[in-house]
Amino acid sequence: MHEYDEAEAQWFAALQEAELFERTDRRLHITLEDLAELYFRQGKHVHAQALMRRIYDIYSRTLGDEHPDVAIVAANLAAMLFADKQFEDAEIFYRRAIAIKTITAPKADPELVTLKVQYAQLLRDLGRHDEAEALTQHAMKQRQHKIRRSGVYEAFVQENPQEQAPRLEDRLLNAVMKVDSGPG
């Protein structure tokens, strides 16, 4: 706990210094984000949420409402609010983050899928089970979109059905070694 107190004092001092910078200065943004994370880890959720709201406001104004960093901050704020059982406010920020990610990220982006799953949990907690189930199903469909596998990959899987889910690196290494060594 002593380390958190010391870190908080240092980050707070850094914030006081960063407040002298222009609103668009990244040093101010980084300081606000790090202090917000530290407050959240300490369980000082009110302080963390206040800083995240400030970061959200700054990023929305300086980067634009549809910037990917605005989505990240909205998602972080939504998670903080959700953890603090502020469901209505959390919903606003989950919806905002998902809207931005839907515009700026690929359809099967893992962060977008995760956001949808987290938002679906919030909907369940609000008793909106049908919406939650539909959103979860949609997110899972997006998660299933995969790239088409090569013949080497497919051959390896067919030749090694006993392996349930080997690491991708192991699969690739074994497949390349089989191809390189030739028959027999």
Q: Positive or negative, the Cα torsion across 110, 112, 115, 120?
A: negative
Token output for 31? 């300081």
Do 172 and 98 have their domain in common?
no
Considering the domain architecture, whether residues 112 and 157 belong to the same structural domain is answered as: no
pLDDT of residue 36: 93
Query: Kind and range of the H or E element at 59?
Result: helix 45-63
Number of domains in the chain: 2
Q: Is there a single domain that holds both residue 12 and residue 95?
A: yes
Q: What is the structure's pLDDT at 102?
A: 92
- What percentage of residues in the chain have a pLDDT greater than 70? 79
The per-residue pLDDT for range 46-86, each reduced to its tens digit, is 999 999 999 999 999 999 999 999 999 999 999 999 999 99
Closest-CA residue to 75 (of 29, 11, 118): 118
pLDDT of residue 99: 96
- How much is the pLDDT for 6? 86
Residue 180 has pLDDT above 50, yes or no: no
Region of residue 44 (phi > 0: left; psi between -120 and 50: alpha; otherwise: beta):
beta
- Whether residues 11 and 60 share a domain: the answer is yes
Q: Which residue, 108, 73, 69, is CA-closest to 94?
A: 73
Per-residue pLDDT reduced to its tens digit, 128-168: 999 999 999 888 887 655 555 576 766 776 777 655 444 55
Question: Does residue 102 sit in the same domain as residue 24?
Answer: yes
Do residues 103 and 155 both lie within one domain?
Answer: no
**Domain region containing 162:** 151-181
Domain shared by 125 and 162, yes or no: no
pLDDT value of position 181: 47
Per-residue pLDDT at 163: 55
> What CATH code is carried by the domain that includes residue 53?
1.25.40.10
